[in-house]
Structures are given as C-alpha cells and as structure tokens.
Chain A
C-alpha cells in the first residue's frame, strides 16, 4: 500500500506570497492532519480534517487554512508568507478521526526569503 505523499517536496517563496501544499493520504484513510515543524518550536499541530470537515485546529493565525476533498486528499494554504513560516510541513493520515496512530508523509520543506 502506498504511503502518504506530499507535493512539492521543496519550495522557495518570497515574503508576502501565498503557497498551497498538497497531501494524498494512504488509501482508505479519511483523516488528514497537518503539522508544522521548526527547530525552535518543534512539531506543532495545525489542523485536522475528516470527511471534508475541519475537526480540530491548532493555535495558528488565520493565514493558515486548509481543506479536504471528497477523495480525502488535502491541501493547506498559507497566505501573506512571513519569514517565520519557513518550516517543514508534515501531513499525516489515519483511519479514524483523532487517532494516535498516524502515518506521516515526508513533508514539504518551505523556505521563505
């Protein structure tokens, strides 16, 4: 069974721009969560989607948004990029909503200049 895939793997953007990251979960998994990882703050939860609905949201500004499609694929968008948004963005999928057994993708490394 194919794992979680994320595209693109690497991205360089300029301050003020916006970016969209994509995540394809493991087949059959309906829950997708997004995390941001930085050296200073570690792994932080962004949001979780299940059946196309946002179920949980972490403590991030409204510039961070996401959505989930009917095939469970998910996208996250960051508008008006700031230098501090440079991070590894990880997507994880699971069978059940809020499951502690989650399967992570390789991440998208976003650099904001």
Chain B
C-alpha cells in the first residue's frame, strides 16, 4: 500500500476555495486515489476517487498530475459545515486490500 502524506491541519474562511494536497511518491500503476471526509462522531464519507488528470463531482474536484505522485482535493467555496477531517487513501480499486487511513487533514472553516 502506498504511503500518503498530507498536512495535519488547515484553516480557511467561508466562501474560499480550499485545496488539500496529498503526497504519494510510491503509488503503484494500478492504484487509485480516494478521498474521504469525516465529521466528529460520524463514520467517514466517500467524497471522490480518481486515477489521473481531473475528476469532478457535485462535492469536490480531484486533480492528479501526470506523474501521479501527488493529488489535490479542491473544495469550492467552503462553508462552516465543511469543517471536518479529510483523508487521502491510495490503493488498488478492488484488490481485497483494507482501507488504510492515515492521520488526515483537519480542516477548520471560520466565519
């Protein structure tokens, strides 16, 4: 499983765009990049998954450069309700590997 490194915490203000970068230097050819969001005392919620270039859904965008050694989760115009911990995971899509959560990035959105 590829090891991931992401900032421990980030602060932002309402209405701003937030970009959280994750480093995964030893990503394997068949690995996907997946992001989860977790609010206090709740289970994590799947946000987005991608393999290369850019993926966008109604919640976020995921940017993956050509070398795939890093990825950036972009949250447009955050609100207070986006305050949560965001986890970056890297691994094969359906390879029987259990999810390995690192420390995540604690995002604090301020008014």
Contact = CB atoms under 8 A, between A and B. Distances in A.
A64 interface: no
A56 B96 CA distance: 7
B42 A106 contact: yes
Q: Main secondary structure on chain B at its contact with chain A?
A: loop
Interface in A31-60: 33, 35, 42-45, 48, 55-56, 58
Contact of A92 (B43, B91, B97): B43
A107 B94 contact: no
A101 B46 contact: yes
Interface stretch (B10-18, B20-28, B72-80, B99-107): B99-107
A102 B103 contact: no
Interface string B63-78: 0000000000000000
A98 B34 contact: no
B96 A90 contact: no
B94 A102 contact: no
B12 to A, nearest CB: 23
Interface residues of B, number: 25
A90 B101 CA distance: 13
Q: How large is the interface on A (under 10, 10 to 19, 20 to 34, 35 or more residues)?
A: 20 to 34
A42 B87 CA distance: 11
Contacts of A101: 34, 46, 49
Given A42-B103, A101-B34, A90 B43 contact: yes
A35 B42 CA distance: 12
B81 interface: no
Interface of B: 32, 34, 41-46, 49, 87, 89, 91-104
29 contacts: A33-B99, A35-B99, A42-B102, A43-B44, A44-B101, A45-B98, A48-B96, A48-B98, A55-B96, A56-B96, A56-B97, A58-B98, A88-B41, A98-B94, A98-B95, A98-B96, A98-B98, A99-B94, A100-B49, A100-B89, A100-B92, A100-B94, A102-B99, A104-B43, A104-B44, A105-B43, A106-B42, A107-B41, A107-B42
